[in-house]
Structure 1
Amino acid sequence: MRQSLVMELRTFYPPIEPYDSGLLDVGEGNQIYWEVCGNPDGKPAVMLHGGPGGGCTPDHRRQFDPQAYRIVLFDQRNCGRSTPHAVDPNVSLESNTTWHLVADIERLREHLGIDDWLVFGGSWGSALALSYAQAHPERVGALVLRGIFMLRPFEVYWFYQEGASLMFPDAYEEYVSVIPEDERDDLVEAFAVRLASSDPEERVRAARAWSQWEATALTLRPRPELVEHFGETDYAVAFARIENHYMRHHGFLEPEQLLENVDRIRHIPAVIVQGRYDVCTPPATAWDLHRAWPEAEFHMVEDAGHAYDEPGILHRLIEATDRFAR
């Protein structure tokens, strides 16, 4: 269904601070940072951030009614406040895969004594939410998914090789400038080599190019401050390393795995929200999920790109969390 052109758009709930937080040992030397805010007796919900490698932000808490929800957030392995951090080139990402993260979500649920919860994921978080729900459907009471990404080969190719490049040729030129012309036939692999370089200047240069390319395409209208943030050294290095690791392996998923396993979650109430002009995760992917799962409520939001805080997208997300709270 299409968003009406005349409506009062919902926006963020007021800022809120966690009432509990900690580091959870998830094995292989990893600890994930977690926090809980809102109502301790409220409906449990877990927010899965994007990237991979993006980490949680204070605004992520504000997509839920704090009076109605027990809101759980965590930084996925090797990013944000989790340890060890991928900014260190000596930190191996071998034990950072979709299935490690699915196991981490389960361990966190058990640690917090939650029986089942609403699972909320955007961008990469939508792929992780689908993966988790298909592995543990009995633990998912509802799903809210935004900016659908399933890491199929054509989706990775579209953004990191050719496709989005036609929409942002100027930014794309900056992105590929760190890669010699004779290595540009496989940019994901070419960046992997440089992100693993022993030369710190080469690593940082490649990380900034990768991260700022993404930041440029995230929003419908330019946000220079967002591009600048994605270029901050520590953020860029961890983000680019983790994201490139997942893109090289297509999210450790079979090409159509998340679509083919929809029957496992067909019974779960769900809302899918997609920006019409999303360049990072093109609407065709969300449409494929909608066709495979017509029981899920679907919203194609006009006048919106990829970012979760774009007005029409944020409206639909909060509308969904409010409804599931009831």
Structure 2
Amino acid sequence: MATHPTAPPHPWNDGLLDVGDDHTLWFEQCGNPAGMPLLFLHGGPGSGCSPRHRDLFDLTRFRVVLFDQRGCGRSTPRGSLAANTTDHLVADIERLRAHLGVERWLVSGGSWGSTLALAYCARHPEACLGAVLRGIFLARREDIAWFFEGAATQLPAAHAEFAACVPGGGRLAERVVEAVLGADDARALAVVRRWMQWEESLTLGRPAALPQLDAETAARMLDKYRVQAHYLHHDCFLPEGEWRRLAASLGDLPVVLLHGRQDAICRPEGALALHAALPGSRLQWVENAGHNPFDPAMMAALRAACAEMADAPGRT
């Protein structure tokens, strides 16, 4: 295997890109400037990137591009729901690629990032060298229903606490989304804290403590979960069954699917369904890993899959 120079752990380029609609995107480039371009798409929707996401990739081999999607993280205005749809995000990625002068790049995303990666690669396959997708989420109604209701079987007592924060009838997802998108910030934040607690409980596989947030973190989390609620309210701006049409548009693009055996947030059925719709894809079940991308086994699998893409003939 070829040797590569040591890459600094910090970005060698960052900035804000005006994408119109009063939105600017924060982005950074890190790793090897001469390496294979690799685009990372964060989850959520609404989460944003963190310095830890750089650790998911071999910075000696790849020119890694990270950015915060509309309304997320350091992009501005943070928490904005205006002109914020999946189609807008796909167009933003193309603007970023042109801005950075990237001809083709490897695309990697997990959870919501896997959904967005699927949409982007399907609509711009000529710009993609391949895709490495983790923690497969297809944005189907049953996927959303699983997180808010179906997963109650995993941790019944923890789920009961979550559901109690939005009493009433009907689907829990709808009640939570309505409360978070409401004008009452104090009420919305109370629900966000329970949402965070439930998500952490599923990630850990045991009941988690209710998060205690300082004022700055509370404002950031409220913005994050309002973006997520906005997307969930609109079925992630993807018509029912759109994931199948997107998969059919990928052609012979090489795709690797990674899914943790202990993933309680995104069911393995989604990974199986996408693999079946992409006969040429490779599906790898990652032992001793759940939904967390920083589980050591998942990090190792992700790095190995990206290296596999880089080493394949014709990927330069």
Both proteins in one fold, TM over 0.5: yes
Measure how far apart 1:283 and its partner are: 0.3
Measure how far apart 1:153 and its partner are: 1.0
Measure how far apart 1:186 and its partner are: 2.1
Q: Which structure 2 residues correspond to residues 23-42 of structure 1 after superposition, within 5 A?
A: 23-42=16-35
1:31-58 Cα deviation digits (max 9, x unpaired):
1100001111211111000001111111
Q: Which structure 2 residues correspond to residues 1-326 of structure 1 after superposition, within 5 A?
A: 16-86=9-79, 91=80, 93-160=81-148, 162-180=149-167, 182-183=168-169, 185-220=170-205, 232-326=217-311
* Cα pair 1:36 1:73 within 8 Å, conserved: yes
Code of the residue aligned with 1:142 in structure 2: it is G
Q: Which moved more, 1:304-313 or 1:95-104?
A: 304-313
Code of the residue aligned with 1:171 in structure 2: it is A
Code of the residue aligned with 2:41 in structure 1: it is L
Code of the residue aligned with 1:173 in structure 2: it is A
Measure how far apart 1:223 and its partner are: 7.2
* Cα pair 2:86 2:116 within 8 Å, conserved: yes
| Structure with greater contact order relative to length (CA < 8 Å, sep ≥ 6) | 1
Counterpart Cα distance in 2 of 1:102 and 1:313: 26
Counterpart Cα distance in 1 of 2:62 and 2:262: 31
Compute the RMSD of aligned alpha carbons: 2.2
**CA 1:222–1:41 in 2, change beyond 3 Å: closer, same or farther?**
farther
2:3 counterpart residue number: none
Measure how far apart 1:100 and its partner are: 0.6
Counterpart Cα distance in 1 of 2:213 and 2:27: 23
Q: Which moved more, 1:188-197 or 1:233-242?
A: 188-197
**CA 1:114–1:286 in 2, change beyond 3 Å: closer, same or farther?**
same
Q: Which moved more, 1:98-107 or 1:228-237?
A: 228-237
* Cα pair 1:208 1:237 within 8 Å, conserved: no
Measure how far apart 1:228 and its partner are: 5.8
**CA 1:262–1:176 in 2, change beyond 3 Å: closer, same or farther?**
same
**CA 1:14–1:122 in 2, change beyond 3 Å: closer, same or farther?**
farther
Aligned length: 305
**CA 1:157–1:137 in 2, change beyond 3 Å: closer, same or farther?**
same
Counterpart Cα distance in 2 of 1:44 and 1:240: 30
Q: Which moved more, 1:216-225 or 1:114-123?
A: 216-225
* Cα pair 2:7 2:31 within 8 Å, conserved: no
Measure how far apart 1:253 and its partner are: 0.9
* Cα pair 1:276 1:303 within 8 Å, conserved: yes
Measure how far apart 1:118 and its partner are: 0.3
2:314 counterpart residue number: none
Counterpart Cα distance in 2 of 1:79 and 1:294: 34
TM-score (norm 2): 0.90
1:70-127 Cα deviation digits (max 9, x unpaired):
11000111111111111xxxx4x13111111101100000000011100000000000
The SS at the match of 2:56 is: coil
* Cα pair 2:42 2:113 within 8 Å, conserved: yes
The SS at the match of 1:261 is: helix
Q: Which moved more, 1:115-124 or 1:299-308?
A: 299-308
* Cα pair 2:7 2:60 within 8 Å, conserved: no
* Cα pair 1:277 1:283 within 8 Å, conserved: no
Counterpart Cα distance in 2 of 1:164 and 1:67: 39
Counterpart Cα distance in 2 of 1:199 and 1:249: 21
Percent sequence identity is 41
TM-score (norm 1): 0.87
**CA 1:34–1:199 in 2, change beyond 3 Å: closer, same or farther?**
same
